[in-house]
Amino acid sequence: MMALERWLIELLLHFVSRDEINAFLRSPQNTATIIGCLIAVSGALLGTFLLLRGMALTSDAISHTVLLGIVVAFLLMTDVFGMAGDTSSPWLILGASLAGVGTVVLTELLYRSGLLRQDAALGLAFPLLFAIAVILVSRFAEDVHLDEDAVLVGEIGLAWANTNSHCFDNCATVTISPDHPQAKMARQCRNCRELGISPRDEGAQFVEICSNCGSYSPAQAWQAGYLQKEPLLVFFPKSITVTLVMTALSLLFVIIFYKELKLTTFDAALAKALGFRPGVMNYALMILVSLVAVGAFDAVGSILVIAFFIIPPAAAYLLTDRLAIMLLLGPLIGAAGAFFGYDLARGKFFGIIEVADIIAGVNSIFGLDLPENWDSSISASMVLMIFIIFALAWVLSPRYGLISTLIRRANQRRRFNDQVVLAHIHNHQFTDRHATELRVKTLHIHFRWTVRKMARVLARLRALGFVALVDGFAELTERGETQVHAFRSAMLEAHNMPDIE
């Protein structure tokens, strides 16, 4: 990771200065927005296939159970192999991936037993593994930053402070020894604690120690005042590196295996017959979901990362039927939600409308006393904005949106009413029942409609030139006859039936 960060910094230094990089990345808003967009892109790319496979809630399960892999890997590192307890170790990411795959394997085993449905099997597997993880954390890793609150919630607004420092000039490491001019020597009682006596006691024995001896990195040495010339340092947030790697892996996976993912998603049986291995692709997808979930722990937490997997693909699904376009729209929707989510956390809706003004208006209209100050979690605000974009797509989608659906159903009802009236007139206009069935004043009775509804339908049919009113009776025009026969032919063709009229 350090090598990747240094390469990125060296690339950026060709275009901007060190001070500009530090100023940009030390901004909580810039760092949070970058990380949020990266998580949204990787989550949407993988979440699209989870959604289409009917496995959307698998991301929920994995985002919980990766905690088990993390804590087990951490305990093995510290208690078994005697390694340092580094919470950013790649071993933790490996453990998280294995836990994610273990969740899928356990779910499949329960499902294939034939005794449980797949959703029930998933509902049994992940609470079990997550409960074990929580017990291990609370029992054996209580003093480590693996606590449940941090894992479940996270706070992306603090990601800017967790950085690696990279030195490009005046990079000498300073070592302070007891004979160094800047060494701070002090006396320490070596037997006071053992004997339970005070340093002022006559039996106290003292040794001279160096309180500041040790090796200092350039950044630490400059901060401690041990360097006369400031080192050229660039600070790079760790979460950006992690989420950037996860996004790159997700993007490469989708690009390289696009055809295989598409085929195994829509027709696993055909894919197996053609020699593909749907199970292998499924496990590869689950491994990447696990990696993205653990990469998002420090930023948004395991609960909120579920939204980045599900909501953007669901919104894109409302806007298009093509997989390629869906894979483009999902990340764009997620990134837009992350971008505007930070503004929402600061109290601005889409960066324009003050949330305090909205609350004040609600208080004024409904006589409420809601607090008008706005102080919200950045991660939660990002998820809320993504959901708002989903809601807009759900309402405004030209094909599957609420408004278009209501309009389409209204048009279907109107066309049905029109065809029913046209068929009624066609069936009776040259029969003995013409006088009783087609009289305009009583026509509504035969349909059990109101007079007003019948008047609307007849007015529409007359405007279309399908019906004419002659001496108080309804009759089909030539255009109306054509319409009836066209509708009849279409219905017979749809049902593969011969026209026996």
CATH number, domain of 459, equals 1.10.10.10
User: For the chain, what is the largest distance between any 2 Cα atoms, rounded to a whole number of angstroms?
Assistant: 132
Please say which residue of 359, 375, 396 terminates a domain.
Answer: 396
| pTM of the predicted model as reported, rounded to 2 decimal places | 0.79
SS3 214: strand
* Pair 218, 124 in one domain: no
The neighbour count for residue 461, using CB atoms within 10 Å, is 22
Please state, in angstroms and rounded to a whole number, the distance separating the CA atoms of residues 249 and 245.
6
Is 501 within a domain? no
236 contacts: CB under 8 Å, gap ≥ 6: 5, 8, 9, 25, 163, 164, 165, 166
Residue 453 is assigned to a structural domain of this protein: yes
Q: How many CB atoms lie within 10 A of CB 248?
A: 14
Q: State the average pLDDT over residues 328-348.
A: 91
Domain contains 207: yes
Same domain, residue pair 355 and 434: no
**Are residues 99 and 201 located together in one domain of the fold?**
no
Are 64 and 116 part of one and the same domain? yes
Residue 351's nearest CA partner among 371, 336, 369, 364 is: 336
- Tell me which of 235, 256, 286 is where a domain ends: 235
CATH of the domain at 368: 1.10.3470
Together in a domain, 379 and 433: no
In a domain, 143, yes or no: yes
Percent of the chain scoring above 90 in pLDDT? 26
Same domain, 173 and 32: no
Beta bridge partners of 47: none
The verdict on residue 248 lying in a domain is yes
Residue 315 has pLDDT above 90, yes or no: yes
The chain-wide mean pLDDT, for the chain, equals 84
Q: How confident is the model at residue 407 (pLDDT cuts 50, 70, 90)?
A: very high
Judged against a pLDDT cut of 50, whether residue 147 lies above it is answered with no
Residues 98, 210 share a domain: no
> Does some domain include residue 163?
no
Res 150: pLDDT:
47
Which pLDDT belongs to residue 72? 85
Please report whether residue 162 resides in a domain.
no
- For residue 430, the enclosing domain spans 403-495
The residue that leads in pLDDT, 299 or 101, is 101
Higher pLDDT, 65 or 245: 245
Same domain for 149 and 61: yes
DSSP state of 159: G
User: What mean pLDDT is predicted for residues 39-47?
Assistant: 93
Note the pLDDT tens digit of each residue in 413-440: 999 999 999 999 988 888 888 888 889 8
Q: What is the average pLDDT across 247-263?
A: 93
Beta-bridge partner residues of 453: none
pLDDT at residue 84 is higher than 70: no
Q: What confidence tens digit (pLDDT) does each residue in 155-171 have?
A: 787 778 888 888 887 77
Q: Do residue 241 and residue 230 come from a single domain?
A: no
Residues 123 and 146 in one domain: yes
How far apart CA 204 and CA 188 sit, in angstroms, is 10
* 500 located within any domain: no
Clarify whether residues 36 and 146 are in a common domain. Answer: yes
Q: How many domains does the chain have?
A: 3
User: Is the confidence at residue 86, as pLDDT, over 70?
Assistant: no
Q: Which of 235, 258, 273 is the last residue of a domain?
A: 235
What average pLDDT does range 319-339 have in this prediction?
93
Residues 251 and 231 in one domain: no
